[in-house]
Structure 1
Amino acid sequence: MLINSAADLRPEHVTSPDPLELSPALLSRLRTTRQAVLTTLATGSPVYGVNTGMGALSKIPLTEEEQRTHQNNLLLARAAGGAPWLPPLEARAVVLARLKTFLTGDAGVSAELCLQLVALLNSGLVPAIPTGGAGSAGEIIPLAHAFGPLVGIGSLLTPPPAAQAAPALAVHSGRSAEWTVVSAEGVLPPFELGPKEGISLLAGIPGATGRAWLQVEVARRLVDRLSLVGAGAVAVVGASRDPYNPLCGRGDAVLTEELRRVLRAAGPEDEPRGLQAPVSFRVVGLVNANVRRAVGRLEEAVGRAFDGVTDSPAFLEGEFVGTAGFHGVDLAAHCDQLVAALAHAAEVSAARIHRLLDPAVTGLPAQLAVEPGPQAGLVTVHKRAVATCHYLRRLAVPSAVGAMETSNGQEDVQSFSWEAVGVLAEAIRLTREVVASELLVVHQAFVLSKRPVPEGLQGLLGEVADVVPPIVADRPFGVDVGRLLERVV
């Protein structure tokens, strides 16, 4: 896959197994910028992290001999994290995002360093990057782990033996528990960092940006499932379709389209069971539109993070400029907003599950058991959803609140964007659990009701029927939820 500019790297490259290649024209531009960087550095003017110390030690000048090892040394002591490690796909997103920022030229790194990143991406190996413990104004701890392997420092994750024959595909399994941690020494081609390249690897927020880039795609699929599952609940209880009339979305294009989406999937209802269904059914469109808006806003924040200046010092119009691009509060705030939207959507979904188990709402056997009394039915599936929602509520505390001083006061605030995107990934995982639980309940309700499945839901419920055997008696329903999570949701 030929890359001509930073704009050519897109979210789908995180999950694509196709190898990347930098075009000759792009490599030429990188080399031209690199030469200008080296010429400017040769003047001897102080440049943070290049011929000076870092953080609170930035006033200490480095000798020429110290400068020769300084860039590699930057990756040593800062690798202070540990297991658990990011899933392979998220680790790949971090590396890809770093490459994307380098291709703008702001960092002024060599074409050869960019090629080293490409080699890592194409190898099927991924760096062992800690999930937590960033704790700095930027991301120096996780980034030291991410890019130490380029120079033989730190650790890599290798795919399981069964996947060794196709490592480029193995990275997309996302099952980090099956991967092995190995030393990075001697695994990649030998490489020596040049002036400013070590600090450039540690600068900005490529980790949070790349991981959020990946989560946007996952969240978009999730909200599509939320819409269909909510429409399934509406259809199976015979709810009045009034609340989904697109006229109710006046002035709000996102809501209007969401209401249309619910109506298309649920189909018409000529004989609703009542004038008004429970609130959790009536607000399907509003709740899911809120999630869609939050996903869209996060995507815009990711775009701003990629398009903006995050390297520091950045090489801008021929000179080095210290920046604050490492303060990822914009990204953190929009991750937080999406977490809150998902937590609310999951709570509404759990409420619908409870109503779907109630004969007064559905007209179906209690708890959707084939023989209520001797059988418990799906009541414990609802209990699982309730516990999951409780966990989600605890995640909905804003990540960017709670700054603490580090580095002798040089870094006296943080945005915690790395942590924010980690919380988002967990919130998406938990919301999927609730949606899978509701989908199982909707499926059983349709079976017991003997209602025809609306055309807009036949594809989804057909997928469920393919992986969930008929429910004729109690069984460990966690197995069914697990199958839905793996194959459908």
Structure 2
Amino acid sequence: MTDLILTPGVVSLADWRAVYVGASVRLDPACREGVLASAATVEAIVAKGEPVYGINTGFGKLATVRIPDSDLAQLQENIVLSHAAGVGEPLEVPVVRLILAMKLASLARGASGVRWETLQALQACLDHHLIPVIPGQGSVGASGDLAPLAHMAAVLMGVGEAMLKGERMPAAEALRRAGLTPAAFGPKEGLALLNGTQVSTALALAGLFAAERVFQSALVTGALATDAARGSDGPFDPRIHALRGHRGQIEVADALRGLMAGSPIRQSHLVGDTRVQDPYCLRCQPQVMGACLDLLRQAATTLAIEANGVSDNPLVFAETGEVISGGNFHAEPVAFAADMIAIALCEIGSITERRIAMLVDPVLSGLPAFLTAKPGLNSGFMLPQVTAAALVSENKSRAYPASVDSIPTSANQEDHVSMATHGARRLGPMAMNVAHVVGIELLAAAQGCDFHAPLVSSPLLEAARAVIRAKVPMLGEDRYFSPDMEQATALIVSGALAAAGGALPGVVEGVL
């Protein structure tokens, strides 16, 4: 495969997603000149002996302490080791790959004062599939993701642990097996590696990618549930949505209408159906899912900017020889984006669960109670709906905005923090909860359509139904239900169900 070329500052979300799923990357060599100029600026400052924060001073509350030139290398080593104070389960390997690539691209912007050799150390980790073991907890998303990024930087020094081609081992051993030499950081380099929002941004992007998949799958299962309940596609008429004007709502209505087009089940109820309106969970899908789509796209735009930005401190401006201290490490934009994704995930799951509840209720759906031909003797889909309700309620508690919280750190020097990192870390489990809920709806909607035989649904929805029926047969008598749900969830997570639905509106492609 051809390496994906990272051109600092202009990497697309599609390319970041490719990195996340395992694409090999190569830094654009055109950035080398700017990196060298930035490093030369730091060297000149050290030679002058003037105190400049981050280069020859202490850090945070200790910024007024001048460090002798003879101790500058030790200073950078100390900040890495002292800040490697994370706890909890390690971040997943795809997330850490994304962190490494984003840190590489950020430093390559030529504003961080690091040497080319340090960028090569990051590149070597990606080349050799040497993935630092980074504890997931310990960042408040303020002065960068200090603790987790310190664990990343420590591995470059041969300290801590790393995964090498899937095997966990001491970092020094991983470097030795890969034929790499432990890094020794020069002035400013340890701080440049530790400062930055790459961990929170990578976690938020992982959440965004997962949210897009469950969103698209929920469009398919929502359309299938509408057909199973003999619902109307009238609420998806484009004229309704054009009058309101929201892009996401218009696109979702188009998708739902396309998914149901040509359904004999729908056609059979155009005459003689006495219902005037469907429940909101069917009728208001464009309004709810469209709003979710707009929200996810807004988050995607923010994260695309952040992933390409420079967020360490201080920043080096080689053209003037200045080093300016600021606050780009504050992850407030990422925190807001993560909160938006969390809210969207919560709502996708919420409206999906309401459709499941509608399908199992014979009064609302007109289908057999709990979607079983022999209710009473069989419980059918009674408990899967309970599971969906439990997962939705769990997501509601997780969806509370993380960004509205703050706690002072570093002796009140860092007195307002974003909470972006744990706000982004929750997104993976939330997305998996929604995947389970959408998987349950897939089973329930397919079962509902089975009761309409010999009538079938539309060509696209029948293709989707064939995907699940290839794994899970129609439920006749009660059976051990959990494996069926696992199969359905796997189709959501893999994207197989969304692929069966044809061209569906997405979040990542065509956003920027």
Report the TM-score when normalising by structure 2: 0.87
Q: 1:391 aligns to what?
A: 394
Equivalence map 1:17-416=2 (5 Å): 17-135=22-140, 137=142, 138-158=144-164, 167=165, 181-188=168-175, 189-190=180-181, 191-250=183-242, 251-267=245-261, 269-270=266-267, 271-272=269-270, 273=273, 274-316=275-317, 317=319, 318-416=321-419
- In the TM superposition, residue 389 of structure 1 has moved relative to its aligned partner by 0.8
Partner Cα separation in structure 2 for residue 467 and residue 72 of structure 1: 54
Runs of 4+, deviation exceeding 6 Å: none
Contact 1:98 1:207 in 2 (8 A): no
Residues 241 and 487 of structure 1, relative CA distance in 2, 3 Å threshold:
closer
| Deviation string, structure 1 residues 56-91 (Cα, Å, up to 9, x no partner) | 111111112221211121111211112311111112
Q: 2:472 aligns to what?
A: 468
| Deviation string, structure 1 residues 199-219 (Cα, Å, up to 9, x no partner) | 000112111112223332222
Partner Cα separation in structure 2 for residue 280 and residue 107 of structure 1: 50
The amino acid across from 1:409 in the alignment is N
Partner Cα separation in structure 1 for residue 323 and residue 381 of structure 2: 63
Partner Cα separation in structure 1 for residue 29 and residue 260 of structure 2: 53
- In the TM superposition, residue 222 of structure 1 has moved relative to its aligned partner by 1.8
- In the TM superposition, residue 47 of structure 1 has moved relative to its aligned partner by 2.2
Percent identical across equivalent pairs?
Answer: 27
Partner Cα separation in structure 2 for residue 357 and residue 390 of structure 1: 19
CA-atom RMSD in angstroms: 1.9
The amino acid across from 1:480 in the alignment is D
| Deviation string, structure 1 residues 272-316 (Cα, Å, up to 9, x no partner) | 542211111111111111111111111111123134441210112
- In the TM superposition, residue 454 of structure 1 has moved relative to its aligned partner by 0.9
Residues 4 and 222 of structure 1, relative CA distance in 2, 3 Å threshold:
closer
Q: What is the DSSP-based 3-state SS (H/G/I as helix, E as strand, rest coil) of the residue aligned with 1:131?
A: strand
Q: What is the DSSP-based 3-state SS (H/G/I as helix, E as strand, rest coil) of the residue aligned with 2:135?
A: coil
Residue 482 (structure 2) pairs with residue 478 (structure 1): yes
Q: 1:172 aligns to what?
A: none
- In the TM superposition, residue 16 of structure 1 has moved relative to its aligned partner by 4.7
Partner Cα separation in structure 2 for residue 145 and residue 74 of structure 1: 11
Residues 301 and 25 of structure 1, relative CA distance in 2, 3 Å threshold:
closer
Residues 477 and 112 of structure 1, relative CA distance in 2, 3 Å threshold:
same
Q: What is the DSSP-based 3-state SS (H/G/I as helix, E as strand, rest coil) of the residue aligned with 2:81?
A: coil
Structure 2: 5+ residue stretches without partners: 494-512
Residues 291 and 355 of structure 1, relative CA distance in 2, 3 Å threshold:
same
Partner Cα separation in structure 2 for residue 11 and residue 267 of structure 1: 35
Q: What is the DSSP-based 3-state SS (H/G/I as helix, E as strand, rest coil) of the residue aligned with 2:451?
A: helix
Number of residue pairs aligned between Structure 1 and Structure 2: 470
The amino acid across from 1:40 in the alignment is I
Partner Cα separation in structure 2 for residue 277 and residue 102 of structure 1: 54
Partner Cα separation in structure 2 for residue 331 and residue 136 of structure 1: 9
Contact 1:350 1:385 in 2 (8 A): yes
Q: What is the DSSP-based 3-state SS (H/G/I as helix, E as strand, rest coil) of the residue aligned with 1:75?
A: helix
Structure 1: 5+ residue stretches without partners: 159-166, 168-178
Question: Which stretch of the first structure deviates more once superposed, 387-396 or 214-223?
Answer: 214-223
The amino acid across from 2:48 in the alignment is T
Residue 439 (structure 2) pairs with residue 419 (structure 1): no
Q: What is the DSSP-based 3-state SS (H/G/I as helix, E as strand, rest coil) of the residue aligned with 2:415?
A: coil
